[in-house]
Copies of this chain bind each other. A is one copy, B any other.
Amino acid sequence: MSEAVIESFSPLAERLANALGTRAVITEADAREKYLVEERGLFRGEAAIVIVPETAADLAKAVAICAEEGVGMVPQGGNTGLVGGSVTSGREVLVSFEKMNRIREVDATNFTITVEAGAILADVQAAAAAQDCFFPLSLGAEGSCTIGGNIASNAGGISVLKYGNARDLTLGLEVVLPDGQIWDGMRPLYKDNSGYSLKNLFIGSEGSLGFVTAAVLKLYPRRRQIQTAYCALATVESALELLALARRRSGDQVTAFELMSEFSLSIVCAHADGQRPSAEVHPWYALIELSTSRDGDDLRATFEALLEEAFESGLISDAVVAETIDQAQRLWRLREGIPEAQKRAGGSIKHDISVPVSAIPRFIAEASQAVEAYMPGIHVCAFGHVGDGNVHYNLTQPDGMAKEAFLEHWEAVNDIVHPIAMAMNGSISAEHGIGLLKAQEIDRYRSKSEQALMRTIKRALDPRSIMNPGKTVAIEGKAAG
Protein backbone atom coordinates (compact mmCIF):
# COMPACT_ATOMS: atom_id res chain seq x y z
CA MET A 1 0.00 0.00 0.00
CA SER A 2 1.28 3.47 -0.80
CA GLU A 3 1.92 5.92 2.00
CA ALA A 4 -0.70 8.23 0.48
CA VAL A 5 -3.38 5.54 0.70
CA ILE A 6 -2.41 4.69 4.27
CA GLU A 7 -2.47 8.42 5.08
CA SER A 8 -6.01 8.70 3.71
CA PHE A 9 -7.15 6.26 6.42
CA SER A 10 -5.78 8.42 9.28
CA PRO A 11 -8.98 10.30 10.09
CA LEU A 12 -10.88 6.99 10.29
CA ALA A 13 -8.16 5.47 12.50
CA GLU A 14 -8.51 8.46 14.81
CA ARG A 15 -12.29 8.15 15.03
CA LEU A 16 -11.95 4.43 15.79
CA ALA A 17 -9.26 5.05 18.42
CA ASN A 18 -11.47 7.65 20.09
CA ALA A 19 -14.35 5.22 20.25
CA LEU A 20 -12.51 1.96 21.10
CA GLY A 21 -9.29 3.20 22.76
CA THR A 22 -5.91 3.37 21.09
CA ARG A 23 -4.94 -0.17 22.15
CA ALA A 24 -7.73 -1.56 19.97
CA VAL A 25 -6.56 0.16 16.78
CA ILE A 26 -3.39 -1.03 15.05
CA THR A 27 -1.88 1.05 12.27
CA GLU A 28 1.88 0.32 12.51
CA ALA A 29 3.10 -1.71 9.54
CA ASP A 30 4.97 -4.32 11.61
CA ALA A 31 2.05 -4.91 13.94
CA ARG A 32 -0.40 -5.22 11.03
CA GLU A 33 1.73 -7.74 9.15
CA LYS A 34 0.59 -10.96 10.87
CA TYR A 35 -3.05 -10.28 9.91
CA LEU A 36 -2.17 -9.79 6.25
CA VAL A 37 -0.03 -12.81 5.44
CA GLU A 38 -1.62 -16.08 4.49
CA GLU A 39 0.23 -19.30 5.18
CA ARG A 40 -0.09 -20.73 1.67
CA GLY A 41 0.81 -17.47 -0.08
CA LEU A 42 -2.25 -17.81 -2.32
CA PHE A 43 -3.47 -14.38 -1.21
CA ARG A 44 -1.82 -11.33 0.32
CA GLY A 45 -4.00 -8.91 2.26
CA GLU A 46 -3.59 -5.15 2.48
CA ALA A 47 -5.16 -3.01 5.21
CA ALA A 48 -4.20 0.33 6.70
CA ILE A 49 -6.16 -0.34 9.89
CA VAL A 50 -6.58 -3.48 11.98
CA ILE A 51 -8.92 -3.31 14.97
CA VAL A 52 -8.94 -5.75 17.89
CA PRO A 53 -12.16 -5.03 19.83
CA GLU A 54 -12.65 -6.61 23.25
CA THR A 55 -16.44 -6.62 23.31
CA ALA A 56 -19.39 -6.82 20.94
CA ALA A 57 -20.36 -3.31 22.05
CA ASP A 58 -16.96 -1.98 20.93
CA LEU A 59 -17.20 -3.78 17.62
CA ALA A 60 -20.71 -2.36 17.16
CA LYS A 61 -19.32 1.16 17.64
CA ALA A 62 -16.64 0.49 15.03
CA VAL A 63 -19.19 -0.88 12.55
CA ALA A 64 -21.41 2.16 13.03
CA ILE A 65 -18.43 4.44 12.31
CA CYS A 66 -17.38 2.48 9.22
CA ALA A 67 -21.00 2.45 8.00
CA GLU A 68 -21.09 6.23 8.32
CA GLU A 69 -17.81 6.55 6.47
CA GLY A 70 -18.81 3.96 3.87
CA VAL A 71 -15.71 1.86 4.55
CA GLY A 72 -15.84 -1.92 4.30
CA MET A 73 -14.80 -4.30 7.09
CA VAL A 74 -13.30 -7.79 6.89
CA PRO A 75 -13.57 -10.18 9.87
CA GLN A 76 -10.66 -12.47 10.74
CA GLY A 77 -10.60 -15.38 13.18
CA GLY A 78 -7.61 -17.73 13.15
CA ASN A 79 -6.71 -16.75 9.56
CA THR A 80 -6.76 -20.43 8.57
CA GLY A 81 -9.49 -20.28 5.91
CA LEU A 82 -8.78 -21.84 2.52
CA VAL A 83 -10.74 -19.50 0.24
CA GLY A 84 -9.46 -16.05 1.22
CA GLY A 85 -12.57 -15.19 3.24
CA SER A 86 -10.60 -13.01 5.67
CA VAL A 87 -8.31 -11.33 3.14
CA THR A 88 -8.51 -7.53 2.80
CA SER A 89 -8.12 -5.66 -0.48
CA GLY A 90 -6.60 -2.51 1.02
CA ARG A 91 -9.89 -0.63 1.06
CA GLU A 92 -11.31 -2.22 4.22
CA VAL A 93 -10.67 -2.22 7.95
CA LEU A 94 -9.60 -5.65 9.20
CA VAL A 95 -11.36 -6.85 12.38
CA SER A 96 -9.47 -9.40 14.46
CA PHE A 97 -11.41 -11.36 17.11
CA GLU A 98 -8.30 -12.42 19.03
CA LYS A 99 -9.31 -10.47 22.16
CA MET A 100 -12.86 -11.84 22.21
CA ASN A 101 -11.88 -15.40 23.05
CA ARG A 102 -13.55 -16.22 26.36
CA ILE A 103 -15.39 -19.42 27.08
CA ARG A 104 -18.28 -18.11 29.13
CA GLU A 105 -20.14 -21.17 30.38
CA VAL A 106 -20.58 -24.91 30.09
CA ASP A 107 -24.08 -26.19 30.98
CA ALA A 108 -23.67 -29.96 31.27
CA THR A 109 -27.41 -30.48 31.87
CA ASN A 110 -28.48 -28.52 28.82
CA PHE A 111 -25.46 -29.93 26.92
CA THR A 112 -24.40 -26.45 25.74
CA ILE A 113 -21.32 -24.26 25.82
CA THR A 114 -21.35 -20.46 25.46
CA VAL A 115 -18.29 -18.89 23.84
CA GLU A 116 -17.04 -15.71 22.24
CA ALA A 117 -16.28 -15.68 18.53
CA GLY A 118 -12.50 -15.58 18.94
CA ALA A 119 -12.32 -18.74 21.09
CA ILE A 120 -9.97 -21.33 19.57
CA LEU A 121 -11.74 -24.52 18.50
CA ALA A 122 -9.36 -26.76 20.47
CA ASP A 123 -10.01 -24.70 23.61
CA VAL A 124 -13.75 -25.20 23.17
CA GLN A 125 -13.22 -28.95 22.78
CA ALA A 126 -11.11 -28.96 25.95
CA ALA A 127 -13.60 -26.92 27.99
CA ALA A 128 -16.36 -29.36 27.00
CA ALA A 129 -14.22 -32.38 27.89
CA ALA A 130 -13.48 -30.88 31.32
CA GLN A 131 -17.22 -31.13 32.06
CA ASP A 132 -17.48 -34.73 30.77
CA CYS A 133 -18.97 -33.48 27.51
CA PHE A 134 -17.91 -33.64 23.86
CA PHE A 135 -17.87 -30.89 21.24
CA PRO A 136 -17.63 -32.82 17.98
CA LEU A 137 -16.43 -30.23 15.46
CA SER A 138 -12.94 -31.34 14.45
CA LEU A 139 -10.68 -30.27 11.60
CA GLY A 140 -7.02 -29.96 10.73
CA ALA A 141 -6.73 -26.32 11.85
CA GLU A 142 -8.44 -26.86 15.22
CA GLY A 143 -5.39 -25.65 17.16
CA SER A 144 -5.64 -22.15 15.71
CA CYS A 145 -9.00 -21.66 13.96
CA THR A 146 -11.74 -19.84 15.89
CA ILE A 147 -15.39 -20.62 16.53
CA GLY A 148 -16.41 -17.37 14.84
CA GLY A 149 -14.60 -18.43 11.68
CA ASN A 150 -16.03 -21.94 11.96
CA ILE A 151 -19.55 -20.50 12.12
CA ALA A 152 -18.98 -17.89 9.41
CA SER A 153 -17.73 -20.60 7.07
CA ASN A 154 -20.04 -23.37 8.35
CA ALA A 155 -16.98 -25.55 8.91
CA GLY A 156 -17.18 -29.27 8.24
CA GLY A 157 -14.31 -31.62 9.07
CA ILE A 158 -14.24 -35.27 10.00
CA SER A 159 -17.32 -35.57 12.23
CA VAL A 160 -20.03 -34.30 9.88
CA LEU A 161 -21.33 -37.77 9.06
CA LYS A 162 -22.56 -38.19 12.63
CA TYR A 163 -22.80 -34.68 14.11
CA GLY A 164 -23.26 -32.31 11.16
CA ASN A 165 -21.49 -29.08 10.24
CA ALA A 166 -20.86 -26.04 12.44
CA ARG A 167 -24.43 -25.02 11.49
CA ASP A 168 -25.93 -28.09 13.11
CA LEU A 169 -23.94 -27.49 16.29
CA THR A 170 -24.97 -23.84 16.71
CA LEU A 171 -28.02 -23.12 18.86
CA GLY A 172 -27.66 -19.38 19.47
CA LEU A 173 -25.73 -16.44 18.06
CA GLU A 174 -24.88 -12.85 18.80
CA VAL A 175 -24.19 -10.79 15.68
CA VAL A 176 -23.12 -7.21 15.02
CA LEU A 177 -25.29 -6.08 12.12
CA PRO A 178 -24.24 -3.86 9.18
CA ASP A 179 -25.86 -0.80 10.80
CA GLY A 180 -23.95 -1.25 14.07
CA GLN A 181 -26.88 -2.76 15.98
CA ILE A 182 -26.31 -5.95 17.96
CA TRP A 183 -28.70 -8.86 17.40
CA ASP A 184 -28.93 -10.95 20.57
CA GLY A 185 -29.97 -14.42 19.47
CA MET A 186 -28.07 -16.21 22.26
CA ARG A 187 -30.88 -18.62 23.03
CA PRO A 188 -29.61 -21.98 24.33
CA LEU A 189 -32.68 -23.73 22.89
CA TYR A 190 -33.10 -26.99 21.01
CA LYS A 191 -36.53 -25.90 19.81
CA ASP A 192 -37.52 -22.38 18.88
CA ASN A 193 -40.03 -21.66 16.13
CA SER A 194 -40.59 -18.01 16.73
CA GLY A 195 -40.02 -16.59 13.27
CA TYR A 196 -37.41 -16.72 10.52
CA SER A 197 -34.26 -18.60 11.42
CA LEU A 198 -31.99 -15.57 11.56
CA LYS A 199 -29.04 -17.52 12.92
CA ASN A 200 -29.00 -19.74 9.83
CA LEU A 201 -28.74 -16.68 7.62
CA PHE A 202 -25.52 -15.63 9.35
CA ILE A 203 -24.01 -19.11 9.62
CA GLY A 204 -22.02 -19.79 6.45
CA SER A 205 -22.38 -16.23 5.16
CA GLU A 206 -18.66 -15.50 5.70
CA GLY A 207 -19.40 -12.31 7.59
CA SER A 208 -21.06 -10.77 4.55
CA LEU A 209 -24.34 -10.09 6.44
CA GLY A 210 -22.95 -9.36 9.90
CA PHE A 211 -20.13 -10.41 12.23
CA VAL A 212 -20.68 -13.21 14.74
CA THR A 213 -19.43 -12.15 18.19
CA ALA A 214 -20.61 -15.04 20.40
CA ALA A 215 -22.41 -18.37 20.15
CA VAL A 216 -24.19 -21.05 22.13
CA LEU A 217 -23.04 -24.46 20.88
CA LYS A 218 -24.45 -27.95 21.27
CA LEU A 219 -22.54 -30.57 23.26
CA TYR A 220 -22.81 -34.35 23.52
CA PRO A 221 -21.90 -36.83 26.25
CA ARG A 222 -18.14 -37.46 26.31
CA ARG A 223 -17.02 -40.47 24.32
CA ARG A 224 -15.68 -43.38 26.36
CA GLN A 225 -14.86 -45.84 23.61
CA ILE A 226 -13.16 -44.86 20.34
CA GLN A 227 -12.09 -47.53 17.86
CA THR A 228 -10.22 -46.88 14.63
CA ALA A 229 -9.67 -49.21 11.69
CA TYR A 230 -7.92 -49.12 8.35
CA CYS A 231 -9.39 -51.18 5.50
CA ALA A 232 -8.17 -51.90 1.99
CA LEU A 233 -10.69 -51.88 -0.83
CA ALA A 234 -10.73 -52.68 -4.52
CA THR A 235 -13.29 -50.05 -5.51
CA VAL A 236 -15.02 -46.89 -4.30
CA GLU A 237 -18.33 -48.76 -4.59
CA SER A 238 -17.09 -51.19 -1.94
CA ALA A 239 -16.27 -48.27 0.34
CA LEU A 240 -19.87 -47.09 0.17
CA GLU A 241 -21.24 -50.56 0.86
CA LEU A 242 -18.85 -50.81 3.80
CA LEU A 243 -20.05 -47.45 5.10
CA ALA A 244 -23.72 -48.47 4.96
CA LEU A 245 -22.89 -51.79 6.63
CA ALA A 246 -20.90 -50.05 9.36
CA ARG A 247 -23.74 -47.61 10.06
CA ARG A 248 -26.28 -50.41 10.36
CA ARG A 249 -24.17 -52.87 12.37
CA SER A 250 -22.77 -50.32 14.81
CA GLY A 251 -26.04 -48.65 15.76
CA ASP A 252 -25.06 -45.61 13.70
CA GLN A 253 -21.91 -45.00 15.80
CA VAL A 254 -19.70 -44.30 12.77
CA THR A 255 -18.14 -40.95 13.65
CA ALA A 256 -15.66 -40.78 10.76
CA PHE A 257 -15.34 -42.49 7.41
CA GLU A 258 -12.47 -41.21 5.29
CA LEU A 259 -11.42 -42.50 1.89
CA MET A 260 -7.85 -42.39 0.54
CA SER A 261 -6.56 -43.37 -2.89
CA GLU A 262 -3.37 -45.43 -3.20
CA PHE A 263 -1.66 -42.36 -4.69
CA SER A 264 -2.51 -40.25 -1.66
CA LEU A 265 -1.29 -42.99 0.71
CA SER A 266 1.93 -43.38 -1.29
CA ILE A 267 2.82 -39.68 -1.03
CA VAL A 268 2.04 -39.56 2.70
CA CYS A 269 4.46 -42.46 3.18
CA ALA A 270 7.05 -40.85 0.89
CA HIS A 271 6.82 -37.27 2.14
CA ALA A 272 4.90 -36.96 5.43
CA ASP A 273 5.94 -39.66 7.93
CA GLY A 274 3.19 -42.04 6.96
CA GLN A 275 3.75 -45.75 7.73
CA ARG A 276 1.86 -48.38 5.77
CA PRO A 277 -0.12 -50.51 8.27
CA SER A 278 0.29 -53.46 5.94
CA ALA A 279 2.66 -54.16 3.06
CA GLU A 280 -0.20 -54.91 0.68
CA VAL A 281 -1.01 -52.29 -1.93
CA HIS A 282 -4.65 -51.75 -2.94
CA PRO A 283 -6.45 -49.14 -5.04
CA TRP A 284 -8.34 -47.57 -2.11
CA TYR A 285 -8.30 -47.40 1.66
CA ALA A 286 -10.89 -46.34 4.24
CA LEU A 287 -10.17 -44.99 7.69
CA ILE A 288 -13.16 -45.68 9.95
CA GLU A 289 -13.82 -44.47 13.46
CA LEU A 290 -16.60 -45.83 15.68
CA SER A 291 -17.21 -44.18 19.00
CA THR A 292 -19.75 -44.13 21.81
CA SER A 293 -20.31 -42.57 25.21
CA ARG A 294 -21.06 -46.02 26.69
CA ASP A 295 -18.54 -47.54 29.05
CA GLY A 296 -17.08 -50.98 28.38
CA ASP A 297 -15.37 -52.54 25.39
CA ASP A 298 -18.24 -53.87 23.34
CA LEU A 299 -17.54 -51.44 20.49
CA ARG A 300 -14.36 -53.27 19.55
CA ALA A 301 -16.25 -56.54 19.29
CA THR A 302 -18.89 -54.84 17.15
CA PHE A 303 -16.17 -53.43 14.91
CA GLU A 304 -14.38 -56.77 14.52
CA ALA A 305 -17.63 -58.55 13.73
CA LEU A 306 -18.60 -56.08 11.05
CA LEU A 307 -15.14 -56.14 9.46
CA GLU A 308 -15.26 -59.93 9.42
CA GLU A 309 -18.61 -59.78 7.68
CA ALA A 310 -17.18 -57.26 5.19
CA PHE A 311 -14.16 -59.48 4.59
CA GLU A 312 -16.26 -62.58 4.04
CA SER A 313 -18.57 -60.85 1.59
CA GLY A 314 -15.55 -59.57 -0.35
CA LEU A 315 -16.08 -55.87 0.43
CA ILE A 316 -12.62 -55.44 1.93
CA SER A 317 -9.36 -57.22 1.23
CA ASP A 318 -7.38 -56.22 4.31
CA ALA A 319 -8.07 -54.57 7.66
CA VAL A 320 -6.20 -53.36 10.74
CA VAL A 321 -8.01 -52.33 13.94
CA ALA A 322 -5.82 -50.09 16.09
CA GLU A 323 -4.78 -51.82 19.34
CA THR A 324 -3.56 -48.69 21.12
CA ILE A 325 -4.13 -44.95 21.03
CA ASP A 326 -0.68 -44.58 19.52
CA GLN A 327 -1.58 -46.98 16.71
CA ALA A 328 -4.85 -45.12 16.11
CA GLN A 329 -2.90 -41.87 15.82
CA ARG A 330 -0.57 -43.47 13.29
CA LEU A 331 -3.56 -44.53 11.22
CA TRP A 332 -4.98 -40.99 11.38
CA ARG A 333 -1.58 -39.64 10.30
CA LEU A 334 -2.13 -41.40 6.96
CA ARG A 335 -5.16 -39.22 6.37
CA GLU A 336 -4.09 -36.01 8.06
CA GLY A 337 -0.67 -35.94 6.40
CA ILE A 338 -2.12 -35.78 2.89
CA PRO A 339 -2.30 -31.96 2.51
CA GLU A 340 1.32 -31.63 3.70
CA ALA A 341 2.47 -34.51 1.47
CA GLN A 342 0.78 -32.88 -1.49
CA LYS A 343 2.78 -29.70 -1.01
CA ARG A 344 6.02 -31.70 -1.02
CA ALA A 345 4.98 -33.77 -4.03
CA GLY A 346 4.76 -30.68 -6.26
CA GLY A 347 1.91 -28.58 -7.57
CA SER A 348 -1.70 -29.40 -6.62
CA ILE A 349 -4.92 -28.30 -8.23
CA LYS A 350 -7.64 -28.62 -5.60
CA HIS A 351 -11.37 -29.14 -5.45
CA ASP A 352 -13.79 -29.18 -2.53
CA ILE A 353 -16.78 -30.82 -4.17
CA SER A 354 -19.66 -32.77 -2.71
CA VAL A 355 -22.14 -35.08 -4.43
CA PRO A 356 -24.77 -37.46 -3.06
CA VAL A 357 -22.87 -40.27 -1.31
CA SER A 358 -24.30 -42.74 -3.81
CA ALA A 359 -22.81 -40.75 -6.72
CA ILE A 360 -19.23 -40.71 -5.43
CA PRO A 361 -17.99 -43.69 -7.48
CA ARG A 362 -19.42 -42.23 -10.68
CA PHE A 363 -18.00 -38.79 -9.88
CA ILE A 364 -14.48 -40.11 -9.28
CA ALA A 365 -14.59 -42.28 -12.41
CA GLU A 366 -15.89 -39.55 -14.71
CA ALA A 367 -13.69 -36.79 -13.33
CA SER A 368 -10.58 -38.97 -13.48
CA GLN A 369 -11.24 -40.00 -17.05
CA ALA A 370 -11.77 -36.37 -18.04
CA VAL A 371 -8.65 -34.94 -16.38
CA GLU A 372 -6.47 -37.79 -17.64
CA ALA A 373 -7.73 -37.11 -21.16
CA TYR A 374 -6.91 -33.43 -20.69
CA MET A 375 -3.43 -34.07 -19.25
CA PRO A 376 -2.00 -37.58 -19.56
CA GLY A 377 0.05 -38.59 -16.53
CA ILE A 378 -1.81 -36.33 -14.08
CA HIS A 379 -2.09 -37.97 -10.63
CA VAL A 380 -5.48 -38.21 -8.97
CA CYS A 381 -5.03 -37.55 -5.26
CA ALA A 382 -8.64 -38.08 -4.19
CA PHE A 383 -9.40 -38.35 -0.48
CA GLY A 384 -11.81 -37.10 2.09
CA HIS A 385 -15.05 -37.41 3.91
CA VAL A 386 -16.95 -39.80 1.66
CA GLY A 387 -19.32 -40.55 4.53
CA ASP A 388 -20.88 -37.14 3.91
CA GLY A 389 -20.31 -37.00 0.13
CA ASN A 390 -17.39 -34.56 0.32
CA VAL A 391 -14.32 -35.53 -1.72
CA HIS A 392 -11.20 -33.42 -1.88
CA TYR A 393 -10.62 -34.29 -5.49
CA ASN A 394 -7.08 -32.97 -5.79
CA LEU A 395 -4.69 -33.43 -8.67
CA THR A 396 -0.91 -33.60 -8.56
CA GLN A 397 1.35 -32.71 -11.47
CA PRO A 398 2.53 -35.41 -13.89
CA ASP A 399 6.05 -36.73 -13.16
CA GLY A 400 8.64 -34.38 -14.56
CA MET A 401 6.32 -31.42 -15.13
CA ALA A 402 7.25 -28.05 -13.56
CA LYS A 403 5.03 -26.88 -10.71
CA GLU A 404 4.35 -23.44 -12.20
CA ALA A 405 3.50 -24.86 -15.62
CA PHE A 406 1.07 -27.28 -13.94
CA LEU A 407 -0.63 -24.63 -11.82
CA GLU A 408 -1.39 -22.55 -14.91
CA HIS A 409 -4.01 -25.20 -15.67
CA TRP A 410 -5.89 -24.53 -12.37
CA GLU A 411 -8.94 -22.86 -13.88
CA ALA A 412 -9.06 -25.12 -16.90
CA VAL A 413 -9.06 -28.19 -14.65
CA ASN A 414 -11.73 -26.63 -12.36
CA ASP A 415 -13.78 -26.11 -15.51
CA ILE A 416 -13.55 -29.83 -16.25
CA VAL A 417 -14.19 -31.12 -12.72
CA HIS A 418 -16.85 -28.72 -11.40
CA PRO A 419 -19.46 -29.29 -14.12
CA ILE A 420 -19.22 -33.04 -13.49
CA ALA A 421 -20.09 -32.51 -9.80
CA MET A 422 -22.86 -30.05 -10.64
CA ALA A 423 -24.41 -32.48 -13.15
CA MET A 424 -24.75 -34.93 -10.25
CA ASN A 425 -26.66 -32.38 -8.17
CA GLY A 426 -23.48 -31.58 -6.29
CA SER A 427 -21.69 -28.54 -4.95
CA ILE A 428 -18.34 -27.01 -5.88
CA SER A 429 -17.93 -25.71 -2.34
CA ALA A 430 -18.71 -28.43 0.15
CA GLU A 431 -16.97 -27.22 3.28
CA HIS A 432 -14.38 -24.52 2.58
CA GLY A 433 -16.79 -21.79 1.46
CA ILE A 434 -16.68 -19.22 -1.33
CA GLY A 435 -14.54 -16.35 -0.02
CA LEU A 436 -12.55 -14.59 -2.70
CA LEU A 437 -11.44 -17.80 -4.38
CA LYS A 438 -14.82 -18.81 -5.80
CA ALA A 439 -16.88 -15.60 -5.59
CA GLN A 440 -16.87 -15.13 -9.35
CA GLU A 441 -17.01 -18.78 -10.37
CA ILE A 442 -19.90 -19.76 -8.11
CA ASP A 443 -22.34 -17.48 -9.90
CA ARG A 444 -21.98 -19.52 -13.07
CA TYR A 445 -23.33 -22.53 -11.24
CA ARG A 446 -26.21 -20.75 -9.53
CA SER A 447 -29.60 -20.63 -11.19
CA LYS A 448 -31.06 -17.21 -12.02
CA SER A 449 -33.52 -17.46 -9.13
CA GLU A 450 -30.73 -18.43 -6.74
CA GLN A 451 -28.50 -15.56 -7.84
CA ALA A 452 -31.41 -13.16 -7.43
CA LEU A 453 -32.31 -14.48 -3.96
CA MET A 454 -28.71 -14.21 -2.71
CA ARG A 455 -28.35 -10.64 -4.00
CA THR A 456 -31.75 -9.62 -2.62
CA ILE A 457 -30.70 -10.82 0.82
CA LYS A 458 -27.29 -9.16 0.67
CA ARG A 459 -28.76 -5.83 -0.49
CA ALA A 460 -31.58 -5.91 2.07
CA LEU A 461 -29.34 -6.61 5.07
CA ASP A 462 -26.19 -4.76 4.01
CA PRO A 463 -27.34 -2.05 1.59
CA ARG A 464 -23.97 -0.23 1.67
CA SER A 465 -22.07 -3.50 1.15
CA ILE A 466 -19.65 -2.84 3.99
CA MET A 467 -19.63 -6.32 5.56
CA ASN A 468 -16.81 -8.40 4.03
CA PRO A 469 -17.44 -6.90 0.59
CA GLY A 470 -16.86 -9.10 -2.43
CA LYS A 471 -17.12 -12.39 -0.50
CA THR A 472 -19.86 -15.04 -0.87
CA VAL A 473 -22.04 -12.96 -3.19
CA ALA A 474 -20.43 -10.68 -5.73
CA ILE A 475 -22.50 -7.52 -6.09
CA GLU A 476 -22.02 -5.84 -9.46
CA GLY A 477 -21.19 -2.18 -9.75
CA LYS A 478 -19.29 -2.17 -6.45
CA ALA A 479 -15.55 -1.73 -6.27
CA ALA A 480 -15.55 -4.45 -3.63
CA GLY A 481 -13.23 -7.31 -2.87
Chain A interface (Cβ < 8 Å from any Cβ of B):
107-112, 132, 153-154, 156, 160-161, 164-165, 167-168, 177, 181-198, 200-201, 203-205, 209, 220-222, 240, 244, 247-253, 292-295, 298, 302, 354-359, 385, 388-390, 425-434, 438, 442, 445-450, 452-454, 456-461, 472-473
Contact = CB atoms under 8 A, between A and B. Distances in A.
Which of A191, A429, A433, A456 has the largest count of B CB atoms less than 10 A from its CB? A191
Nearest to A134: B252
A424 to B, nearest CB: 10
Contact of A449 (B167, B182, B186, B355): B182
A457 B454 contact: no
Contact of A244 (B108, B156, B182, B456): B108
A266 to B, nearest CB: 27
A252 B195 contact: no
Nearest to A447: B184
> Which one of A112, A177, A193, A293 has the highest number of Cβ atoms from chain B below 10 Å of its Cβ?
A193
Most buried by B among A112, A195, A252, A454: A195
Contacts of A390: 190-191
B292 A252 contact: yes
A293 B198 contact: no
A19 to B, nearest CB: 20
Contacts of A446: 194-195
Nearest to A438: B194
A449 B181 contact: yes
Given A165-B191, A191-B389, 18 more contacts: A167-B197, A181-B448, A184-B447, A186-B425, A189-B354, A190-B390, A191-B385, A191-B388, A193-B429, A193-B431, A193-B433, A194-B438, A194-B445, A194-B446, A196-B458, A251-B251, A251-B294, A252-B292
A235 to B, nearest CB: 14
Contacts of A472: 195-196
Contacts of A450: 183-185, 195, 198
13 contacts: A109-B240, A160-B191, A183-B449, A188-B356, A192-B430, A194-B427, A194-B446, A196-B473, A198-B454, A221-B244, A221-B252, A252-B292, A459-B460
Pick the 4 closest A-B CB pairs, nearest first. A200-B200, A460-B460, A251-B292, A251-B294
Contacts of A108: 244
A359 to B, nearest CB: 8
A109 B357 contact: yes
A314 B153 CA distance: 46
A429 B192 CA distance: 6
A168 B189 CA distance: 14
A187 B221 CA distance: 31
A35 B168 CA distance: 36
Contacts of A442: 194-195
A449 to B, nearest CB: 4
Contacts of A426: 187, 189
Contacts of A220: 252
A260 to B, nearest CB: 18
Contact of A195 (B107, B182, B434): B434
A357 B109 CA distance: 7
Nearest to A182: B449
A294 B249 contact: yes
Contacts of A167: 197
A318 to B, nearest CB: 23
B432 A193 contact: yes
Contact of A110 (B188, B358, B449): B358
Nearest to A184: B447
Given A191-B165, A201-B197, A356 B432 contact: no
Given A251-B293, A252-B220, A294-B250, A354 B195 contact: no
